[in-house]
Structure 1
């Protein structure tokens, strides 16, 4: 008998397991009465089973559930239940490894690699395999990257029986904070929040020049922070904003570029910032609110750069906004959606008090469920609740698989001391120059980000390149946010610009043309990580005066560079004016008061020049 994945029986099992997973994570968040490693093992168990029931081994088996899938489900139960039952004995054995440990550990590693391959592709499993080979055969390597080599049993013990590998911090964060915020996002989506945020964006920006493009920026920023996925955000908001942009006169490639760049920025926009920020807080050992505070100004500057680009482009080609009759009134929309703002506000408040993101997430969920009851249109029935619980669990499967796989890489790094070796390499190559270290890290982040999810990219580089940047003198927050930013920007960097490709499908234009146009629209954003490295005040590190000066000069620099790139300031620019504007932006970026003053004078001069030309 051939069992199909879409068979009612299989779907009932998937739905039941997904609901169990969501309820278990929520239970652990509220009561916390399960040992952390056991909790992670249970989450991994349910995620494994869902993975092998939902994702086929090969595309040809898309519809069929094979005997191999069933065997992998059974093996998943064995390797994770083994951890739950024997956890206490692992501690008592003090590092010794039995034959059964070796069998279960080997199977667990295989399952992690296979689940990651099915959900996110070959790249991360191959990198993990490379690291394991490095741990085994490192004694054959000459020079600074060589080591004594580790036996297979030692590696199995480290990766499977401790919290240094598969069941490490990365999986722990995915199985708690990240999952809960995905669940929060699922409930928010089902309650109608997406339409509310879209209507709010229309009411705020619809009338201005190039209104639909600005709607895309606002709506994508709001939704992207919650969804944590550039592509999902493009599909969610782009189906509305891209046709609107095309309708008022934007070219399809430009419409796709605006949507892709705005959606990608959601992963760097507080308060949620996708999954990576939670992992960052755990790795740095700081309250999550500290990450949010540090990230807020750079995120605003990124979206300001997008806003200036679309505003100047609209002014240059004479595009107007949406007719006023089609724009909802802000006051009416704002008050209609107060139930959706209440849980967001509550998350901020709980985080501000110093509580954990896990507590903020489950309180936000409960407040959202209560607030949704106020209005009939947002009220969720049993079917909606079940769908939300299922969606959250299914969405989390790929993140759990990726973080478990990345955990193995971290385990090898800690076992072999590779992090210190790589740090020494970067420092020696950079020869004390921070800029060289930053460029190396930028390239590594973008290249890895093209093939790995942002979470995995951040995890790998946080243990490899972040320590090197710190030793070169980069502040710790700046080093980690630098890695995160460029891992995110990989989604809009050709040739593998997945967010741009998704947007091009909606805009019906060339994917490659859309990706290069996106790079141009978001180009100023690529300068922002360098800005906050050289100006820590942009991360709220410094006096109030320093923060104000750094913020104002950064804003003026963004305006000047955007005007230069678009060939429009308050009127179309000449080539000399474009050069002067670019020079003004460059001088405003340099951290010297004299260059700031000269840059400001040049900017005012060009403004006055254009004002004179316009009036005569």
Structure 2
């Protein structure tokens, strides 16, 4: 954490200065590897030019500019041009082995670069003919098949380099599965078998595999939002968000931790990466939390949970949210709106956890003299509010999700050049901006393109519908059992796969079965998304917790368990919105119902957090209940959970019955705790401060 001072009459305000987030985090979105090359010289400028071409191609396609000469490019040609521009750089940026040099590019990586580029251009030049002649179903020339085989192999190697061996070993068997789909030992996975030529043609020429949902999401919406996020960072929005968080929340009880939660939620608009959020916000907030009295592992756990929630929070969510929109064939705005109440409940839960922890341990806020002023902060960065408002209006009112980030970026850059003295862009800044975006594009294309073959394989074999029936048979048409199976599978897959790969797996295999039970589609896909993200704070992997532990200097595994404890509410929220999709603003009259359910869930969460932390608001420190402390805490958690749980639907009890049952647990428990705590505080040797 770095700080500077600004002097005012009789007052010295220690302003928080937010360092360049890209320098700290490398802006990795989903990659499971951290050993990367920094391109220099000619190769750096090649990446910069390729990135500029990628952004211009996206603008041309989304705004229907037709290259200003009346030429209409097919979407499939556009997708292959993006792949040709970005995928080859995977082999230059991500080394092939631990011992591979980082200061130079080996000859074999250059060979893979050229082979990938040549295969992509070959397929791009033939994809229009393929659409006219139906080559994806047979009849493709040998040269196209050969290029397809090269592309298939390059995609698998790109997956290994960006997502690690776990992602490759999870995806590759399914991509070749159509070649032996009729084998008896496959059981419920038996389907229609294809030859190598048929499978290759379908993978690289159809709109269901390589050119399917993941790469479509990247090409249509992800590029624009990544450009917007990078522009926010490089115009100093990170410093503004951090300072605003300190100014607004710093003086509260346990203020440093509340700053962390608020700041990480805001920073999520700039980065779709959990790790990037941890490494940027955490370097600022974790030392302040420790200084305020939070133990190291708890401070790291708060940061890990807050950063995980940031990727689930609108208006700019992680890349997986855009893939969800493509899967459901809805606008990204619908996905973002559906995420509002779950995200709000999650952050309310975190705030309550921190508040009750701080109250139990007597932790104060940060002195006002050490914090930036709210008005000074807003004066320095007022135009960020206008830019974000424009983005939201264009998403929700004008429904122009593919245009919104470009308009918002243009407005941001104009206002930054006019009103900011410190962060005005130069030609060097533009080069850095393109380089940072290029590295992010390369990483995401490497993962998304390869994962697209998953969808193609199951589409080719036609096994999805029969598998859904088999899952329903195994679960005995029991929605709760199937949801539990899905949650556990998501958590396990999330340990080894990136979030997007995990989501795609389960959206293909499990979501159809849940939908056949009559559950809301949006709620089902959000359920899978949430549970796939939970591996970030769940041991044994818990990458967000481990990254935060590194900053805090705390034991990694202990931080992982603390993260589960602090973020426990997020394990319940997905079940809540599947039980009643009004929580994701679905169904008839969802807004009023959603607000009512949100109020009940927040009320229940107040008691869940009180039981977990041992301090119940409006009652006091539960250590004052003596021998009954733990029974009371357990009853508070159970009662709070019951009150927060939606009734009706697949639940055997109505909403009124569930709420009354929860209150029947909470009211006597709270009254007993209040009586015992007050009696204890009236004794001469009352409760001692911790």
Q: TM-score, normalised by structure 2?
A: 0.86
Partner of 1:584: 639
Partner of 2:594: 547
Contact kept, 8 Å, 1:136 with 1:151, in 2: the verdict is yes
1:203–1:328 contact (8 Å) kept in structure 2: yes
How big is the shift at 1:481?
0.2
Answer yes or no: is the 8 Å Cα contact 1:288–1:356 preserved in 2.
no
Aligned to 2:429: 384
Match of 1:258 among 288, 299, 302: 302
1:94 corresponds in structure 2 to 134
> Quick one: distance in 2 between partners of 1:366 and 1:512?
44
Map of 2:252 onto structure 1:
208
Residue deviations 1:389-442, cap 9 Å, x none? 210111121111111111101000111112213212221111111111111111
| Per-residue deviation, 1:176 | 3.1
> Is 2:222–2:322's contact at 8 Å kept on the other side of the alignment?
yes
Equivalent residues of 1:211, 1:322 under 8 A apart? yes
* Equivalent residues of 1:14, 1:53 under 8 A apart: no
- Distance in 1 (alpha carbons) for counterparts of 2:632 and 2:450: 52
* 1:106 alignment counterpart: 149
Q: Please give the residue correspondences for 1:103-142 in structure 2 after superposition, counting only pairs within 5 Å.
A: 103-142=146-185
Corresponding residue of 2:315: 271
2:557 aligned with 1:512 = yes
* 1:281-338 alpha-carbon deviations (Å, 9 max, x no partner): 1211112222122110011001111111111111111100111101222233223321
Matches within 5 A, 1:286-435: 286-373=330-417, 374-435=419-480
SS of 2:477's equivalent in the other structure is coil
Residue 177, structure 1, aligned to residue 217, structure 2: no
Equivalent position of 2:86 in the other structure? 47
Q: Deviations over 1:362-390 (max 9, x none)?
A: 11111111121222223222211221121
Question: Is the 1:342–1:371 contact (alpha carbons within 8 Å) kept by the matching residues of 2?
Answer: no
Structure (1 or 2) with the greater helix fraction: 1
C-alpha distance in 2 between matches for 1:118 and 1:548: 45
Match of 2:658 among 580, 595, 598: 595
Instruction: Report the Cα offset of residue 595 of structure 1.
Output: 3.1
Separation in structure 2 between the aligned mates of residue 356 and residue 401 of structure 1, nearest angstrom:
27
Which segment drifts farther, 112-121 or 372-381?
A: 372-381
Contact 2:178 2:461 in 1 (8 A): yes
The whole-number CA distance in structure 1 between the counterparts of 2:41 and 2:634 is 65
1:59 counterpart = 2:98: yes
1:599-610 equivalences in 2 (<5 Å) = 599-600=662-663, 602-610=665-673
Taking structure 1 as the reference length, the TM-score comes to 0.96
> Cα 1:453–1:225, aligned 2, differ >3 Å: closer, same or farther?
farther
Aligned residues: 613
> For residues 176 and 90 of structure 2, what CA distance do their matches in structure 1 show?
26
Aligned-residue Cα RMSD (Å) equals: 1.8
Give CA-to-partner distance per residue, 1:529-551, whole Å, 9 cap, x none. 00111122212234355323311
Counterpart position of 1:564: 611
Matched, 1:436 2:478: no
Contact 1:256-1:514 within 8 A present in 2 as well? yes
Compared CA separation, residues 27 and 92, structure 1 to 2 (3 A): closer
Equivalent position to 2:503, from 440, 452, 458: 458
Distance in 2 (alpha carbons) for counterparts of 1:135 and 1:579:
51
